[in-house]
Amino acid sequence: MDGLRVGFSAVYFLQTAAALVLGITAWTKVRELYWQGTASRQPEPAS
Amino acid sequence: MERIPQSLVAMILAVAACLCYAFSGALSAWYFVTLSVSSLVGNNLSAAGSWMLFVAAAIVFFGLCAPAWEAVLARQWVSATEACGAAVGALVLAIGLLIDAASAASAAGSVVPAVGIGIWALLALARAGRMSLLEQESSRPRQASLWLISAFGMFASAIGYGLTASAGTGPLVALAVLLAAGLAALGYQSGWPGCAVWWRPARLAVFSPGWLRWRLPMSRLP
């Protein structure tokens, strides 16, 4: 039973790590999309 | 499906869902670590993990509704269909996780989330077929095999989720093996775009001047 317990703990820890990696990846995408939106909303410089 | 990572609302909700999912995974892992120490603490941890998992699935559902609506407004019907299908899968998953969190002994709490993940697997399989047909006609980047691996991972996860653990240790072992296989397949699938995201910060940390005092000597090379 102890081996099973350790195995399940390992699987859930792996899931936690994968979720954190995915979250950081999504946060990188949020920053990229935010800056794209900010740049597209800036007015044209007056000549 | 291309519209989902291009939607700011969807990505903000994805960050929130990932944080909830990570918290739920940590609680569940801690539940198995402390299983034999105190059953009261263990049960509370398990219930908290189940509720956090439901919150994560509900956030995913709302996050998928945003790009689906944007695709409908833009009259991109293929993207709209895929995003709506993914949202339906997330809704079924969230309902199943709600049943699981509210009544842990119910078999529906294992079967209904498996149906939701199965809907996602079917969507990934359909997309793999569509990408394979598109790749035959043009010199597009090869992505069909990655979607096929993703579909396999989701099918494995769905079968693992659908197994009820009440029958003994055999289904428990099968559940753990299938979940691990599904996770490994999804990790391999996301490794290709994931590497592109992680490569730039890693390269900056190692090679750019001024970032780290203890950086490698090769950063002084021209």
Tally the residues of chain B: 222
Give the pTM: 0.75
Q: What is the DSSP letter of A26?
A: H
pLDDT tens digits, residue range B18-30?
999 999 999 888 8
Are the Cβ atoms of B176 and A11 closer than 8 angstroms?
Answer: yes
pLDDT tens digits, residue range B63-106?
999 888 888 888 888 888 888 999 999 999 999 889 888 886 77
Task: Please name the residues between 1 and 47 in chain A that touch chain B, using a CB distance below 8 Å.
Answer: 1, 4-9, 11-16, 18-23, 25-30, 33-34, 37
% of chain B residues with pLDDT over 90: 16
From A17-31, B84-98, B116-130, B156-170, the region with the lowest mean pLDDT: B156-170
- Does any CB of chain A come closer than 8 Å to the CB of residue B42? no
Tokens of B32: 């198995």
- Does any CB of chain A come closer than 8 Å to the CB of residue B9? no
Q: Which residues from chain A sit within 8 angstroms of residue B15, using beta carbons?
A: 23, 26-27, 30
B11: helix, strand or coil:
helix
Residue A44 φ/ψ region, left for φ over 0, alpha for ψ in the -120 to 50 degree band, beta for the rest:
beta
- Residue B146 pLDDT greater than 50, yes or no: yes
Are the Cβ atoms of A26 and B19 closer than 8 angstroms?
Answer: no
The CA distance from B35 to B51, in Å, is: 19
Q: What is the mean pLDDT of residues A15-41?
A: 83
Q: Which residues from chain B sit within 8 angstroms of residue A8, using beta carbons?
A: 29, 32, 172, 176
CA distances from B109 to A6, B38, B74 (A): 24, 24, 37
- Does any CB of chain A come closer than 8 Å to the CB of residue B6? yes
- List the domain boundaries for chain B: 4-195
Q: How many CA atoms lie within 13 A of B67 on its CB side?
A: 26
CB atoms inside a 10 Å sphere around CB B214: 4
Q: Which residues from chain B sit within 8 angstroms of residue A15, using beta carbons?
A: 21-22, 25, 28, 183
Ranked by mean pLDDT, the top range of A32-36, B59-63, B133-137, B173-177 is B59-63
Closest by CA to B206, choosing from B222, B217, B195, is B217
pLDDT the model gives residue B164: 64
Q: How many CA atoms lie within 13 A of A6 on its CB side?
A: 3
pLDDT tens digits, residue range B162-207?
776 555 666 666 776 776 677 666 666 665 555 555 555 555 555 5
Task: Please name the residues between 75 and 134 in chain B that touch chain A, using a CB distance below 8 Å.
Answer: none
The CA distance from B47 to B51, in Å, is: 6
B208: helix, strand or coil:
coil
Tokens of B102: 């509210």
Q: What is the mean pLDDT of residues B153-158?
A: 81
